Structures are given as C-alpha cells and as structure tokens.
A and B are shown apart, each in its own frame.
Chain A
Amino acid sequence: MEIHVPAIQPDEIFRLGPLAVTNTVLTSWIALFVVIAFAVAATRNMRLVPSGLQNLGELIVEVLLGLAVQVAGSRARQFLPLVATLFLYILFANWIGIVPGVGSWNAQLPWQEGGHIVFRAPNSDLSLTAAMAIIVFFSVQIVGIRTNVKAYFVKFLWPPLIGQLEIIAEFSRPLSLALRLFGNILAGFILVEIMLQLVPPLLPVVFLGLELGVGLIQALIFAILTLAFLSLASSHGHSEASPEHSGH
C-alpha cells in the first residue's frame, strides 16, 4: 500500500512578481488578518471600564503580563509587545492548521497543472519560523548593545576560549527556536496526513487534538524563550532581577 508522504517544501500558489506565495504564506496571511482584526476591534472606542472585546483583550494582556513578570521581572513591560505578539501570532498560526480544510483541501487552480494543498499550517514552513527567529536574534543583539556597549563586545572576547564559544551560543539560540517550532508543527502536519491515508476518519481526529496542545505549548515556548533571551541580554552589567516569589 503506497503511502504518500507530503513534501516538506510547501507548494507555490501564485507569484507576486519575483516572490512566490506558498500555501503556508497564504495561511499565515489569514492568521495575521484574524489577529489584527481582533486587535483593531478591541481597541476601537476604548473606555476606562472595559466591556466586550476590549475586556477580552485586557484579560489576554494581563495574563501574558503576569507570565512575563515571572520570567523577566521588572523589564517584562518593556519586552511585552514583541513577546506577546509572537505568542498570539504563533498560537493562531498553529491553531489555524487544525481548521478543517487546512492541510487537506487539494485543489487544482486554473493556472497550475496538478493538485496542490491550498492552505497549510504556516509554521510547517522553515522560512516562516526562521524569519521570526531572525527578528528575535536582532532584537536580542540590539537590546544587548543598548544595555551596555562595552560589556556586549567584551563578552565575545574574554575569557579567551569561552568568549568565542559565546558567539556560537548566540547563533544557536535562534536556530534552535526556528527548528523547534518548525519540527513540531511539521511533524504534526505529516502525521495527520499519513493517518488520513491509513485509518480515516477517526484516528486523525486524535492527532488533531494533540496538535491543539502542541500548538499552544510551542507558541508559549517560543515566546517565553524570546523573553528569557531578551531579559538575559538586558541584564549584563547589573545583577539579574530575581523573579517575584508570590505564594499563589
């Protein structure tokens, strides 16, 4: 029995000039649109006493801020915009991979030969996760430089061998961020695709449920790691702010 394993490389749907728009990019636009639409709707006509969408938005921000304070202490507010955006976008991008049709709807568009999957989980594309990791990389370097220019460069020079290893560490962090998210989501996508060919239709549902949890956890991990790296970069030269110990 021939099992067809989907290609890692996403299919191209159309081109905008020299740039190829793949099914993952297309789906990421949808996830982006949902997040932005929610943000715009929640901040429209803001009142001091929130209600409706603004209330939900404030709830989300409060929960994320609480989490961020546990990791980064007093600097949490400064980093929250980037970290929270990463978390919410990655969460939506991962969960949109579970929506019926995403990853399973094959269509042959008029200008193509052969069928292609039209929508695919955005983070199952290494390009997208790497893009976010690159943004994190530059953010961390910039925060490090702004905190203490001298200490930032000295870190790579002294102690003699360990300093040089620091360079490798700096590059390995965004690499692992990208690969972790990519590997998890790709694995889920391929697993569901294979299950659909083996034991439809009930077993794939179990794995889709697993995708729900994995999507949430990986979004959380990406965001928390970003926050941890930023916090680390901004603490060189002063003592590390210790996380609050609350007795909830």
Chain B
Amino acid sequence: MDFTPLAVALAIGLAAIGPGIGVGLVGSKAMEAMGRNPEASGTVFLPMIIGMAFAEAIAIYGLVIAFVLVGRLH
C-alpha cells in the first residue's frame, strides 16, 4: 500500500503547525508593541517582518519535502 500521498499531506500539514503559532506570536507581540508606543512602529516593523520570515522558513522546509514527494507519486 502506497503511503506517499499521506506522507505528502502530513509533511506540509504538520510542518505548518509550529510556524503558524510562531508567526502568530511574533505578530501579536509586534502589534502590542506598536499599540503601546505608536511612535516606535517604524522601528518595530522591520524586525517583525524578519522574525516572521525566520519562523515561516521552517514551514517552507516541510513544503519542499512535500514537493519532492509529490514528484515521486506513482
């Protein structure tokens, strides 16, 4: 029985859980900081984007695995 389709789904599905929470945390802290101190919005914005890209990269690793597996389907 071929488990590859299941593997593809699990690879990206599970890989997205952690980064999803991570990006949400970064965003929420950034929003909080900007709300407390609107003047610092410019200073907070760029590091927020960088932090989100870091967290998202982990999900991208899972996505690459999923793509590789899709290429091997039957």
* Interface residue ranges, A against B (CB under 8 Å): 5, 7-8, 67, 70, 176, 179-180, 182-184, 186-187, 190, 217-218, 220-221, 224, 247-248
CB <8 Å contact, A179 and B67:
no
Interface residues of chain B: helix, strand, loop or mixed (majority): helix
Return chain A residues, CB-CB under 8 Å to B56: 184
Could you say which of B50, B53, B63, B68 contacts A187, with CB atoms under 8 Å apart?
A: B63
Could you say which of B46, B57, B61, B67 contacts A8, with CB atoms under 8 Å apart?
A: B67
CB <8 Å contact, B49 and A183:
no
Return chain A residues, CB-CB under 8 Å to B70: 5
CB <8 Å contact, A179 and B50:
no
B34 at the interface (CB under 8 A from A): no
CB <8 Å contact, B49 and A182:
no
Could you say which of A7, A179, A247, A248 contacts B57, with CB atoms under 8 Å apart?
A: A179
In angstroms, Cα B69 to Cα A33, docked, is 35
CB<8 Å pairs between A and B, sample of 18: A8-B71, A179-B60, A180-B57, A180-B60, A182-B64, A183-B57, A183-B61, A183-B63, A184-B60, A186-B67, A187-B63, A217-B49, A217-B53, A220-B49, A220-B50, A221-B49, A221-B53, A248-B42
Return chain A residues, CB-CB under 8 Å to B49: 217, 220-221
* Interface residue ranges, B against A (CB under 8 Å): 39, 42-43, 46, 49-50, 53-54, 56-57, 60-61, 63-64, 67-68, 70-71
- Say whether, besides A217-B49, A221-B50, A183 and B68 are in contact (CB < 8 Å): no
Return chain B residues, CB-CB under 8 Å to A218: 53
In angstroms, Cα B60 to Cα A182, docked, is 9
Return chain B residues, CB-CB under 8 Å to A247: 39
In angstroms, Cα B60 to Cα A184, docked, is 7
Residue among A183, A190, A220, A248 with most chain B CB within 10 A:
A183
Return chain A residues, CB-CB under 8 Å to B61: 179, 183
- Say whether, besides A5-B70, A7-B71, A248-B42, A179 and B53 are in contact (CB < 8 Å): no
List of 4 A-B pairs having minimum Cβ-Cβ separation, nearest first: A183-B60, A180-B57, A221-B53, A183-B64
CB <8 Å contact, A180 and B67:
no
In angstroms, Cα B61 to Cα A217, docked, is 17
In angstroms, Cα B53 to Cα A221, docked, is 7
CB <8 Å contact, A8 and B53:
no
Return chain A residues, CB-CB under 8 Å to B53: 180, 217-218, 221
